[in-house]
Amino acid sequence: MSFVEVVLIAVGLAMDAFAVSVGKGLAMRRLYLRQAAAIAVAFGAFQGGMPLLGWAVGTRFADLITSVDHWIAFGLLSVIGGRMLYEALWGDPDGPDTPQDAPLGVRELLVLAVATSIDALAAGVGFAFLDLDIVQVVTAIALITGTLSFVGVLVGHRFGARSERPAEALGGLILIGIGTKILLEHVGLLPW
């Protein structure tokens, strides 16, 4: 897997966290940089840790399903990306994932960090079947998610809700595209 693909996967997985960060920024009447940093660290840590956990589980069972690994990676990334795309296009903008108040306690922060990283856990299972450096991948995911989450709070505070849904839709499309590329490479339809 190339560095560009790793970055694209990291960006795609980070879009849920970015969207929630935008929402938290929207709820801030005054910009709290400490709170933005806490969001960035928590989201980055969970988004990087969950695929590592998924990869560890997936590698235990890799020998059993190597012949269909590309289908698993394609399926997981497509389902995750499809869900993100669906939520961006047709989800309830005032649903339970939309943060409503600016104060962010440790408990809420952890719940949001876990909720936004569940898709990364599933992607990590798919990583077990790919030729990649898992440390490089989870580091990229953690750093990119942390950075985008911090920026998301700033964007939300500054510009309002315009960025939340397009970011989630873009993330979904990126994950579907990477999953499709993996499948096409493994069935021999792409030469590289």
Cα separation, 117 vs 132, in Å, equals: 20
pLDDT at 164: 62
* Cβ contact 144:51 at 8 Å: no
* Cβ contact 160:66 at 8 Å: no
Reply yes or no on whether the pLDDT at 65 is more than 60: yes
Alpha-carbon Rg of the chain, whole angstroms?
Answer: 17
3-class SS at 144?
Answer: helix
> For the packed helices 69-90 and 3-27, what is the interaxial angle rounded to 10 degrees?
30
Q: pTM for the complete prediction?
A: 0.69
Reply yes or no on whether the pLDDT at 143 is more than 70: yes
Cα separation, 75 vs 136, in Å, equals: 23
Per residue in 7-49, pLDDT tens? 998 998 898 788 878 877 876 777 889 999 999 999 999 999 9
pLDDT at 120: 86
